[in-house]
Structures are given as structure tokens and as C-alpha cells.
Structure 1
Amino acid sequence: MKNLYNRFWRWHFFAALFMTPLLLTLTISGIGYLFYTDVENKLYADSYFGSSKETTSITIDEGIEQAKAEFSDYAVRKVIILEEPYNTRLTMMNSEGEQKYVFLDGNYQIVDSQEANYTFSNMMRNLHSSLFIGGTFVNYLVELAACWAIFLLLSGLYMTFRKKIWQKAQTETTRIRSRRWHAILGVIITIPMIAIIFTGLPWSAFMGNIIYTAAQQNPSIGIPELKQNPPTSDINEIPWATRKNEMPTSQNHSGHAGHGAHATVTDYTNDYALSVSELMGHIENENISKPYSIILPSSEEGVFVVAKGSNTGVTGLDVHPKEEVTNYFDQYNGSLISSVSYEEYGILGKWFTWGIPLHEGHLFGWPNKIINLLVCLAFLYLMYLGFKTWLWRRQKGLISAPPMAKEISIPFCIFMIVLGIIMPLFGISLILVVLIELVIWFTKKGKTTAQIS
């Protein structure tokens, strides 16, 4: 059992040593993102709630045309209709994939615009998911830090109960006291912290892609087929003579883990399609309440997608998971072709729907934010106590790593294999760690042999 404890202690130490900088960044940026709606409501109050100097009332379609004229390099891809007192929000995109938000007041006059990359929410999200750098390697690194955080919590839990570290000694040094509180705090936050980490994994680059692929390939447990392959509009609504005319198309390539997008966009127009104001009449007839987003068609066969989401990342747009629904309207006659609601999701789809807002801190309002905040602050203090304990134990000029275990521990191997299966990227990283440990072991063994000789 001592061999098992030493193995956990050593790996716990090195995981903390190498992953703490990343975990600090993820935790602090996560705290920032927890309150993005509150920050943005204050920071962008003029954009969100203000009015244009123009007092003439126009239609939403005229407002959209004004936005397209003012930002001629951008195409309108989405119209977000929010509850009062929020202004209507347009999401526009240019040919390089850059997004711009344009706000229309109650008269549908332009109030303000924003560069999407520099809003508070998107900056916190980009820092949290890709450290502002992006790229596959960085995304994997962020995911790896989250996986090793779970190992740190579980290994700490084992060591705490194995050595009964929570018990107060008759005489405590500063290091012993620091270690004891490090252990106690770790026990308290293990379950909530693991819950926060696992509900964020659907965003991750490696495991998130596995989860999403499984959800797509198995609609019964994941994402309904209709949501993966939206219906098409009836092009018979277009006159036969012009039906085969080539229409501009829009391609959007996005990666969830990077929370970013690259796109080639052309402004699709169709004289035979409904206007947004006409569509809103059909939406009202279907008793679809605000808030909702309208994704515009990008081809002659495309549909209007009218969605209510629980994890949109847009201030004022989120709804309760059970209210989540995706509606498809024909772009020519405005009929509701089909609809996919929360009840039709499989178990993985429902996990996304509940887990992400829980992770973001808005599933059940302020209590969710406060709980997540307290857990994150406790995690930061946990790292501080661990680092402090190490400094008190560390000998001058040495790293003072825990000793290597002399024998292979079967329980430890089983535990790590199970974690590696649950978190595949973590499992891959274990191969590298084992190789490093072997190199260290053979190096020490060689030195020992040389000294004996």
C-alpha cells in the first residue's frame, strides 16, 4: 500500500507542477465568463438598450438593408429577436469569417455595432478555450489540463483518506497545517469540480469531438436526425424559368473547441423568399415566444431556422433547457416544415443541453453562478495551498519530488487505465509520462551501477 501511495503522490506532484499555470488561466477566465451577461448588460448598455437618434419607425427588413449598406463587406447571417428591453441584434459576417454585431432599436434603426472578437464574452471564451492562440495543439493542451485536474482531485482524495490527513496533529508545523487544509478543501470540492469539468468536455477538441460524433451517429441517444440534416424549402415556389439559376451560397466552417469560425460568405438574396418581417408573422402564428434567433437561408433550397437555445453564448438569448427547440420554416411560403424539441433529444443531447448551462453558470440563475464561483475560488486557493506546502517541504536548490516507487502497482495501473479510457487524450498523455518515468528510472539505475563499480 505504501508503494501505491508513493506512486499517487509522485504523479500528483508532477501533474500539479506542470498543469497549475494552465489551470490558473482556465479557472480565472471561467470566473470571468460566469458573469459575462451581467458585465455586458452594464458595459454595452447603450448598444443593448439604447435608441438611435433617428425616431422614424421602419420595418425590420429596412433596418437590415441599412445595416447591409453601412457594412457592405458583410452579409447578414442571423437575426436575434430578444425580449424587451433588449434591442434586436444582427450577426453579420464577411468573406474572411470575421463577425460583426449590429443593434437595431424598437424602430429598427441602427443604434450601434461591435466587432465580435472584442466583446467581453467572446474574449473570455477565447481565453478559456484556446488561450487566445487557437490551433489544434493549444486546444488539446487546454483539454489535457482539464483531464489532469480530474486526476489531481481523485488522487488527492485517495491520499487524504489513506493517510487521514484531515486529522489535526497534536503539534502542527506550518507545512503540516497547510497540507491538512489543502486536503480538506480538496475533499469538499472534488465532486462539484469534477461536475464542472465534465460538463465542459463537450466543447473540448479531442473528447468533445468523440462525444459529438457519437451523438451524430446515434440519433437515438444523441442528436435527432432532423437537427443534423435540416429539411429543404419547396423550390416549386420559384418560377420554373428561374428555378435553375445559380444562386450564391454560404459556407461556414466552425470548431466548437476553438469557439471560432472561418467562412466564405456571399450575401444570398432571393426575390421569391419571404422577408424577415413576413416570417415573424408566421413565427407569431406558431406561438413561438421571444427570445429566439433566426438563421437566414443561404441557398434557394435553404430554410429559415428559428431556434431557442439554452447555451447560445448571447446575452439575453438563453432559455431553460426544456424550452429548447429548433423550428424550420419554408423560405417561400413561411409554413412550419418541422420542429425538433428537447424531448426528442437522446441522452447525450440532453447532457449537452443541461450540462453546458450548468458549466457556464446560468442553468438555475444566481445560485448556479454563486456555487460555480465558490468552487472556482476554492480551487484557486487549493492550488495556492498545494504550492505553499511544496515550498515548505522543498530543499534549497532541489525540486524535492516524491520518491519513485520501486515496484509496479497493479491497482494504480488499473486506475490510470480506467481514467485513460474515460478521457482518451489523458490516456494518450500517459504513454509519454510512462516513457519519461522509464528514462528517469534507467538513468538513476545507471548512475547507481556506475557508483557501485
Structure 2
Amino acid sequence: MKQTYNPLRRLHFYAAFFITPLLLTLSLTGIGYLFYTNVENNIYHDQFFSESQTKEHQSLDDAIKEIENVYKGYHIQKISIMDEPYNNRVTIGNDDGESRYIFLDKHNQRVANQNALYTYSNVMRSTHSSLMVGGTFVNYLVELAACWTIFMIGSGIYLTFKSNALKKSNHKTSFIKNRRLHAILGLIIAIPIFIIVLTGIPWSAFMGKQINQFADEHPKFGYTALMASPPQSEDNELPWATRNKEKPESKKDPHKNHHGGSSNVIGAEGQQSLESIISISEKEGISKPFSIVYPEDEKGVFTVSKGSNTGVTGLDVAPKEETTAYFDQYSGKNLGKVNYEDYGIIGKWFSYGIPLHEGHLFGTPNKIINLFVCLAFIGGIIYGFMSWMKRRKEGTFSAPKRINGHLSMSLLICLIVLGVLMPLFGASLIIVAIIEAILYRKNKKLSTK
């Protein structure tokens, strides 16, 4: 006997049961992250908008030197040049991986500093993506939950119509009511949840790397390599599609001793000042806000970028405004510029997809829609749990019973396709198949006794 409904029901149940805690965590932290700009504008008002008591004006380059002197052991990672009324932000880091944000007012005087690890946005992001723990296993676990969510969307739609769960019944038991509400909410949010999960996958540990590799090997689709997760290098505020782009080299004047080979190229002899790079950038049509990354070595370049998914309050721009420009550190010459129009289809898709996922692609309406979807998703989980509790017999797990029979060919093909597209899901299916085989043999032995 060929089976489709029963195996799907069992898989749907077990998936929902085991990943529900993780899905609730992802939903709640996702809601928290949706409004991070609103929250941070209030709780960090002084850091973002206030002025230092020192009213004397100094150049931005002098401010950078002052920061280097005050924060010994730290190096400059990037400078975020913000649009009014935000204060500029300098990100510094040390060899232990610790980062701090230093805020500068309009006089380039220090206003305040923050430990980057404990800012609201970074805590929400870290919890959402890696449960504040990090590590490959946790990242894979979060990605696995996303994969199973996609499966549950498809299987839930099938089970809803196959079981007539939407049909009103004269037997209005608590189980039937909760199952119906679970099905209704699932159908309403099926497409939005699928889009949200799909646009979050590029950040994932395994599939994200596969997307990155494919885009790197197929320039027509990716143009530039995509990063699988937010990088830990100096470039983590670059637009998605240009973070791995190989930077051009500055042409060093052989008749001048530019910095003599030292590893620190900030303020090297003959190097353009930050003020000059800002001025050149604006003449090139790069308006605030944007980020500047110093050259990595004596042959490196100044990298100036605008991104739609920086994760920094006040720094995000619309996807079509994304740009990354490279300037010779000695002459200030524009050595290359990559705009949104230059991206391949993958780069363009994720330039829109990531801010859509984060809730700032089209302002407040985007946040409200994502909020509604997350709340409805949580509601669906609750009603699903309640329907199980109402059906559950005391002292038993009350999982859907296994009906002996072979999987239907259509179901088998669907599972194989999903397993190929989502390798972690495929690997977990193999584990499920092994467990099911063991249970089948165990039940068979018991039935023959």
C-alpha cells in the first residue's frame, strides 16, 4: 500500500514538536530585531545625537589619532560617516575579537563609546542567528530549523486540504477547534513565512556557503561572491554582493617612502586624509551615509561603501543606492566602482531580500507586516500544540500512528528534491529514515509474538 498522508503527518508532527522551542526563539528575537532602529534611537539617544562638552573643532584624522592613543591595543576597523542628525561612528577592535563603537559629534569630538557585543541590535542579531552561543553546531541547528520550516509549510498545506481541517464540524471539540485555527493561520502566513525563511538562508552556515560558491563560479548570476554569513573582517558593512570582491591595488610612487613597510597604514606618509576621501567620495556621487575602510597595507585602497543591510542604525540605504568604490590611498584616484546595477541576479535578489527579512525594505509597513507574520506564526504554533494536548492520551506521546506501507513515489521525489536543495534537511531525513526503520522492525517483532 502506497502512503503519502500518514508519513507526511508523522514528519510534520515530529518536526513541529522538536524544533518548536527554536522556532519560538527565532520568532521572538526576529520581532525584537524588527524594531532595533526605533529602540536604539531612544535608548542610545545621547550616543547617537548629543554633543561633547568640548566645542573646539578638530579634523576627523586628528580624532582617529586621538582614539588610537586613548584605546591602546585597539585598531581602527571602519568609520561610518552618518547623515544628520546622527553622530559619526568609529568601529575599533583588538586581537581578542572585542569591538567598540566610538561616537564623534559635528566637531569630531568623542561623545561616548559602546561595547559592540552588548548593543541591542547585536544582541538581537546574535541570538536570532546563533542563540548567543555561536559555533558551527548552533549555526547548523538554526539553519536546520529553517529547512524544516519550509518542509512544514508544504506538508501543512497538503495535510490541511487532505484532512478537510478547514471544514466546519458539528462536533465542535477543543481538538477540532484548535486544529482548524492552526490550519487557518498556517495557510494565511504560508507564503510570507516562506519568503522570510528563504531571504534568511543567505546568512546560514552551510547553504549560505553554497550560494557564495555558486555566485563566485557563475559571475553572470552573482557578479561578485556572496558571503555566507556576516564576515568578521574589516568589511562587514559592505553591501552583500561586494564583500568578497577583490580590491584593486594602489599605485605607490616609487620616488616616495610611503610608510616604509609598517603594518599600520593609517596616516602613512603621502596617504590621503579622511577629509579628502570624504570630499572625493561626495564628488563621485556617493552621498551620506557611507562607510570607509582604511587600506590593509601599503598597496591597499580606501574602500567607501553604502549598503542596504549594514545592521547599523542610520546607515542602511535603499538597495538601488548600494555602491562600493575603491580609491588609491595616495592619489585619491577612483580605481573602480560597483553599483547595484552591476550585480548579477543573486546579488540583486539578496540586496532586496535581506532588508525585507530584517523589516526595513519599505519602512514601517515592512515592520508591521513582518510583525503580523511572526505573531501569526507563534499563534499557529500555540494552536498546534493545544490540538496535540487535547488529542493526547494520558501517559502516552500520542504521535500519529505509523501505518505500514511504502512511501508514494511523488512523496519520495519531493523529499529527495528538498534534500538536494537543502543538504542539512536531506541529512536529517536520513536519520529519520533510520529511526523509522528501527521502529518498524521493533513493531513487527512485537506483532509476531
Equivalent runs, 1:307-318 vs 2, <5 Å: 307-318=305-316
Instruction: Tell me the CA shift for residue 267 of structure 1.
Output: 6.9
Q: Which amino acid aligns with 1:176?
A: I
Tell me the equivalent position of 1:261: none
Flag structure 1 segments of 5+ consecutive residues without an equivalent: 249-265
User: What is aligned with 1:403?
Assistant: 401
Note the C-alpha offset of 1:122.
0.5
Q: Determine the C-alpha separation between the residues in 2 that align with 1:86 and 1:269.
A: 26
Q: Which runs of 5+ in 2 are unaligned?
A: 226-240
Deviations 1:349-402 (A, max 9, x none): 111101000000000001100000000000001000000000000000100110
Aligned 8 A contact 2:82 2:289 in 1: yes
Distance 1:314 1:16 in 2: 34
Deviation, 1:70, is 1.4
Aligned to 1:246: 261
Q: Equivalent residue for 2:217?
A: 217
On the 8 A contact 1:268/1:298 being kept in 2, the answer is no
| Secondary structure class of the residue paired with 1:220 | helix
Letter in 2 for 1:394: R
Structure 1 residue 235 and structure 2 residue 234: aligned?
Answer: no
- 1:69 corresponds to which letter in structure 2? N
- What value does the CA root-mean-square deviation take over the aligned residues? 1.6
Q: Give deviations 1:399-422, integer Å, cap 9, x for gaps.
A: 011011311122221111121122
Match of 2:343 among 345, 354, 359: 345
- Residue 134 in structure 1 maps to residue 150 in structure 2: no
Q: What is the TM-score with the length of structure 2 in the denominator? A: 0.93
- Is the Cα contact below 8 Å between 1:55 and 1:107 reproduced in 2? yes
Following superposition, the deviation at residue 269 of structure 1 comes to: 4.7
- Deviation string, structure 1 residues 135-177 (Cα, Å, up to 9, x no partner): 1111000000011011111111001111221111123111101
CA deviation after TM superposition for structure 1 residue 2, in Å: 8.4
CA contact (8 A) 1:88 1:105 kept: yes
**For residues 313-324 of structure 1, what are the structure 2 equivalents within 5 Å?**
313-324=311-322
Instruction: Measure, in 2, the Cα distance between the counterparts of 1:206 and 1:40.
Output: 31
Summarize deviations over 1:261-284 as a string: whole Å, max 9, x none.
xxxxx6755222111112112112
Asked whether the 8 Å contact 1:224–1:344 carries over to 2, the reply is no
In structure 1, the residue matched to 2:360 is: 362
1:417 counterpart residue number? 416
Q: Give the drift of 1:95.
A: 1.3
Per the alignment, residue 10 of structure 2 pairs with: 10
SS of residue matched to 1:189: helix
Contact 1:268/1:299 (8 A) holds in 2: no
2:238 maps to which residue? none
Query: CA–CA distance in 1 between the matches of 2:255 and 2:120?
Result: 46
- Could you tell me which amino acid in structure 1 is paired with residue 304 of structure 2? V
Q: Is the 8 A contact 2:352 2:361 kept in 1?
A: yes
**How far does the alpha carbon of each residue in 1:270-326 deviate from its partner, in whole angstroms, 9 at most, with x for none?**
222111112112112223210100011110011111001000111101111011000
Contact 2:250 2:330 (C-alpha < 8 Å) held by counterparts: yes
- Residues 259, 265 of structure 2: 8 Å contact kept: no
CA drift of 1:7 comes to 1.0
In the aligned structure 2, how far is the partner of 1:2 from the partner of 1:439?
A: 20
**In 1: Cα distance, 2:219 partner to 2:380 partner:** 41
* Equivalent position of 1:393 in the other structure: 391
Shift of the 181–203 alpha-carbon distance from structure 1 to 2, 3 Å rule, reads same
Give the letter for the 1:301 counterpart.
K
8 Å contact kept, 1:75–1:267: no
CA distance in 2, matches of 1:405, 1:193: 31
Deviation sequence 1:48-105 (CA, Å, 0-9, x none):
0011010111111111112111111111121101110000000111111211100000
Matching of residue 447 in structure 1 with residue 446 in structure 2: yes
Matches within 5 A, 1:98-113: 98-113=98-113
Amino acid at match of 1:428: A
Q: Secondary structure at the match of 2:395?
A: coil
Identity of aligned residues (%): 50
For 1:323-342, list aligned pairs within 5 A. Answer: 323-342=321-340
CA distance, structure 2, for counterparts of residue 280 and residue 162 of structure 1? 62
Aligned to 2:19: 19
1:35 is aligned to 35
3-state SS of paired residue (1:401): coil
CA distance in 2: counterparts of 1:21 and 1:133, whole angstroms:
16
Aligned AA (2:417): V
Structure 1 length as normaliser, TM-score? 0.92
Whole-Å Cα distance in 2 between the matches of residues 276 and 394 of structure 1? 67
Given that 2:265 and 2:295 are in contact with CA atoms closer than 8 Å, whether structure 1 keeps it comes out as no
Residue 119 of structure 2 corresponds to: 119
The alignment partner of 2:112 has SS state of strand
Following TM superposition, where does structure 1 have runs of at least 4 consecutive aligned residues deviating by more than 6 angstroms? none
Do the aligned residues in 1 keep the contact of 2:19 with 2:145 (CA within 8 Å)? yes
Q: Distance in 1 between matches of 2:172 and 2:309?
A: 48
Does the 8 Å CA contact 1:279/1:334 hold for their aligned counterparts? yes
Q: Distance in 2 between matches of 1:322 and 1:34?
A: 21
1:7 touches 1:404 (CA, 8 Å); kept in 2?
A: yes
